[in-house]
Structure 1
């Protein structure tokens, strides 16, 4: 018990320290590089745990929504990860000298993330825990604060037949403002605007 408590405390301190460092980033280049360095710490085994959890969560959704949303969830998590690592390794962040568009939102996001990682008690047979939830927040931060894109991919459907859209360079989301009461939701920090509902 003592060792598991020590490991959890150590994990919390690590996530809090990384979030403080991420919140201090001023440019997209700096933030992208810091996010990529942290994402590179995830092993193939970690990615398998994350992918397995993603698969099980999507599998629990009702059909036909499950089939429609599966590629978007995969893109949201694993596609963003591959873009982040690819941009870092190819040196593309060095050309991104512009400041983070909304540093206040980014700072608030990174202040929220540690609690978002530890608020669930869902470690079980799949070994999914705070470190894996942190991965989700890392790739979402990359999309929202480095690429200025929504946390959910364009085209991602939501129940009711609505989807994330891009119109004239603006991102519109059908659930953006409906997540305000969900304290650890990335939607509260997303650059997308609430779409008009018919």
Structure 2
């Protein structure tokens, strides 16, 4: 899957640089290559658990601090409604991933990773996706790194390709009163089709389908 190269700002020199020239890019690409070799859901779960297990408590605190900052910028009462779902999306899934690995739950999961081509496209997208933010506008930008962004993609891969759940948990609210829902044994999302032009969004790889009954009127 060919995607446009990401560019990130070099704050010291005020120029745009290709992330492929940064040393972190090679390391993140190697991680994605390892993950992409998983054939079954169980193999992928164990591979993701190994990578997520490298994050320290300090890393998790930085990630959590940034998430809380982003939530605080949302208008009330939406920020109060969305907070538990964002926390579940990142840290609930993180806990579940490590717990399943410790309990050996991945060993009997021998079914193939769903939609292998889509999964490989996801792995191909992630390295550049890890650099798609504006450092100057980020909360504690000097602490937040591409590896912290990678955490978001790793736990999302667990949800979508191991558990076959939507990237945003069922019940996640969106402005206008719409939510991700489980309906007739499939997950539906009111904004699933809106992400097609955002190449680094997890929504492009989500097993949820567009909710045609509750499609926002602005579309």
1:101 has 2:114 as partner: yes
| RMSD between superposed Cα atoms in Å | 1.4
Residue 180 of structure 1 corresponds to which residue in structure 2?
A: 196
* SS of alignment partner, residue 22 of structure 2: helix
Distance 2:23 2:108 in 1: 35
1:67 to 80, 92, 95: 80
The two structures have a TM-score, normalised by structure 1, of 0.93
Q: Which runs of 5+ in 1 are unaligned?
A: 2-7
Moved more, 168-177 or 121-130: 121-130
Structure (1/2) with the larger helix percentage: 1
Q: Which residue in the other structure is 1:48 paired with?
A: 61
1:13 partnered with 2:29: no
Q: Cα offset for 1:120?
A: 2.2
In the alignment, which of 34, 48, 51 is matched to residue 38 of structure 1?
Answer: 51
Deviating above 6 A after TM superposition, structure 1's stretches of 4 or more consecutive aligned residues are none
Which residue number corresponds to residue 39 of structure 2?
26
8 Å CA contact 2:165, 2:207 repeated in 1: yes
Q: Which segments of 5 or more consecutive residues in structure 2 lack a partner in the other structure?
A: 1-11, 13-20
Shift of 1:124: 6.1
For 2:133 and 2:77, locate their aligned partners in 1 and report how far apart those are by CA, in whole Å.
28
- Alpha-carbon deviation of 1:129? 1.6
Counterparts of 1:41-190 in structure 2, within 5 Å, are: 41-122=54-135, 125-126=140-141, 127-190=143-206
Contact 2:173 / 2:180 at 8 angstroms: preserved in 1?
yes
Number of paired residues? Answer: 192
> For structure 1, which segment, 89-98 or 121-130, has the greater mean C-alpha deviation from structure 2 after superposition?
121-130
Give the Cα separation in 1 of the matches to 2:23 and 2:46: 23
Q: Distance in 2 between matches of 1:163 and 1:147?
A: 20
Instruction: Deviation per CA, 1:25-67: give whole Å up to 9, x if none.
Output: 1100110000000000000000000000010000000000000
Distance in 2 (alpha carbons) for counterparts of 1:42 and 1:146: 20
Residue 119 of structure 1: how far off its partner (Å):
2.5
Could you tell me how far apart the structure 1 residues matched to 2:76 and 2:103 are?
Answer: 39
